[in-house]
Amino acid sequence: MILTIAAAVFVFGLLVLVHEFGHFITAKMTGMRVDEFAIGFGPKLISRRRGETVYSLRAVPLGGFNDIAGMDADNNTAGERGFCAKPVLSRMIVILAGATMNFILPIVLFFAIYATLGEGKPSTEPVIGGVIQGMSAEQAGLKAGDKILSVDGQAVTTWADFTDKLKNIEAGQNILLKYERGAEISEVTVSPTFNEQEKRILVGVQSSIVYESKTVPEAFTAAIEHTKEITVAMLEGIARLFKEPEQTENLAGPIGIVQMSGQVAERGFIPLLNFAALLSINLGIINLLPVPVLDGGHFVNLFIEAVRGKPLGSKAIAYTQRVGIALLLMLMLFATKNDLVRVFLK
């Protein structure tokens, strides 16, 4: 539980810090007054003023915000330094900077991993790299580093051999695994389960990872390419949600993300950094959706202002924001329902 909480705070804190820093630094660069830069919500734990800005750490580490003066044109106390008083282009830059930082973060994380450890790829050896908590393999006592030798007496020489043999097993059917741990060879019985999300039989083990060393330029190029591949895959996944409504059952909310953070953290710090990179890309994409109250929605309003030559009226903005909040609340409730079903009913 402590590891899960610590992992979730680390991941959420890192993503929010980077996102809000994007808004903060571009607001400063374009001459806007920033009254507060906060990580978290709720009561202040630590608060320091530097110049005109208060920097604070708050009690609930699941968000953050920048208090940029003049975001509300009807309540601009900063005059020409207010957000609403700046040129449209400056405001667009500030609005897009948060999501932009969420795409830069994974490049930095992947680059750091590739430049120091190398690029991780699944090993072809039938060696367990990780055991998923609560599943049959863990209950049977299997551990990372165990080498699978056979499945029901059939020899296994590669990880592909192992997974191919599992395809012919039915959910709930007991299978005998022979494995090697150090100098000892042992046998254990496991009972695979059918995973609805992945549509396949699982015993709860993951392959080991081997790292291919890279030069600094190779690591940088690979980090950019990997970030691009994940971004494209996520966009395709969002498109599938509209084409295949049943895919919405795979949506995860805060509870699901916290649970996954703990599971990934059990495999080590590097997997947790990879997970943070994936979530950062996801956060960047979600924030750019043209939904009112999200950064993408604000950008659409600014684009309309640029075309019209004047901003939308306060009533129109208030109405669209209410619609946006309602949509986000419905999505959050649906995702939370999925989380609760996965945690308590599966």
Residues annotated as catalytic (active site), given as ranges: 20
Hey, what's the torsion of the CAs at 8, 11, 16, 18, to 10 degrees? 170
Within 10 Å of residue 180's Cβ, how many Cβ atoms?
15
- 125 phi, psi to nearest 5 deg: -70, 145
Answer yes or no: are the C-beta atoms of 130 and 205 closer than 8 Å: yes
What does the alpha-carbon distance between residue 292 and residue 201 come to, in Å, rounded to a whole number? 41
Q: Which residues in 51-183 belong to E strands, given as ranges?
A: 53-68, 119-122, 128-131, 147-151, 154-155, 175-181
DSSP annotation string for 269-296: HHHHHHHHHHHHHHHHHHHTSS-TTSHH
What are 236's strand-pairing partners?
none
> Residue 282 has which token pair?
């996801």
Per DSSP, helices labelled H in the chain are: 2-29, 88-116, 136-140, 159-166, 216-243, 254-265, 269-287, 295-308, 314-344
The rounded Cα 72 to chain-centroid distance in angstroms is 30
DSSP single-letter state for residue 127: B
